[in-house]
Structure 1
């Protein structure tokens, strides 16, 4: 199986749309911000597809502020963990760890409740009034890449929106698509989910 290179991590933590439809004229970024403010934690299953069409699956756990875990399917020696301050990409096949400040990724729109999305994000049109698409991009830091979040209207979800996934695009035009299913919001999440075993310290977890 071809594994995602380390250079692709900013793209995963970044993405443009899942061939998405568009919000009705009444939709605004404020509606999305209301949803984001209402979400304190989330769990979901995910599928990750790279530009070559290779797909991996796993589970996503998120807790604000700044904590996230992408646990890949069995047999994939990769792990992505955000501990509240930084995001770590761990490749156990080569005992390598890379670190990025959370603020250096557009995924901060999901992880930082204090971030003002109106400064770098916008609602973009889609063909379906049930779907809301939001693109986040910081022109001052193009190296952070782009992310397009895709929501569907759902009265049972926080703020009436359900996050369906996102598409990340890095500066090399590497696209990574994340699709979510079995989303659960504002559930209890143990802090143990955001710990990981450092392969560089064989006997001690980080």
Structure 2
């Protein structure tokens, strides 16, 4: 399952999931990023997208690529499903975060407050953007406008994140964690404020699967 010698932490993946739940469907230009982020935290209620993700180790040489789909409904409901190169499912049901690894025949659960405590993403999912982050417009790169978001209170888990837009469409999210691991997620086929069945945010432990509760 782990074809390289490193993998993104579950904490980081969950943080990315909640952050995407807050931002997915934005239609911002670089100059309007601060106000638009506040608007979308308030206005965007649900969404889905496909993603491809590249996680780069701190040495900058080892890379792991993966792809899948993402769905969310605010507050704190999300389904983050990796399909390639291996299957993994992360579900936030509003109370707990569930992780299921079919290859290991193992599932785990933690309360959302425990799983995401202190992460900027957890604050942004329902919080005040200006209170939680310092936002800075960044230079465009290859046609993508970037906004840098720096946590106002260091929590020891995430150093910074960058949000990328092409025209008025959100296309990328990059997270740098405290260990120097960088995760770049590129989004496609965005749909926002769509109806998503409640069952998509429920998880039942499959028969015969080991459950670790934390």
- Tell me the TM-score normalized by structure 1: 0.75
Equivalent position of 1:105 in the other structure? 119
Quote the Cα distance in structure 2 between the aligned partners of 1:203 and 1:125.
46
Equivalent position of 2:187 in the other structure? 180
Over aligned residues, Cα RMSD in angstroms? 3.1
Q: 2:96 aligns with which of 80, 86, 89?
A: 86
* 5+ long unaligned stretches in structure 2: 17-28, 57-61
Query: 1:54 aligns to what SS in structure 2?
Result: strand
Matched, 1:121 2:133: yes
Equivalent position of 1:166 in the other structure? 173
Q: 1:197 aligns with which of 192, 204, 207?
A: 204
**Comparing both structures, which one devotes a greater share of its residues to helix?**
2
Query: 1:116: how far off?
Result: 0.7
The answer to whether the Cα contact below 8 Å between 2:7 and 2:64 also exists between their aligned partners in 1 is no
Quote the Cα distance in structure 1 between the aligned partners of 2:133 and 2:89.
28
Query: 1:142 aligns to what SS in structure 2?
Result: coil
Equivalent position of 2:74 in the other structure? 64
- Equivalences, count: 187
- Tell me the TM-score normalized by structure 2: 0.72
1:127-166 equivalences under 5 Å are: 127-128=139-140, 131-154=145-168, 162-166=169-173
Query: 1:44: how far off?
Result: 0.3
Equivalent position of 2:12 in the other structure? 11
Higher-RCO chain (CA-CA 8 Å, sequence separation at least 6)? 1
Quote the Cα distance in structure 1 between the aligned partners of 2:181 and 2:187.
20
Quote the Cα distance in structure 1 between the aligned partners of 2:202 and 2:147.
32
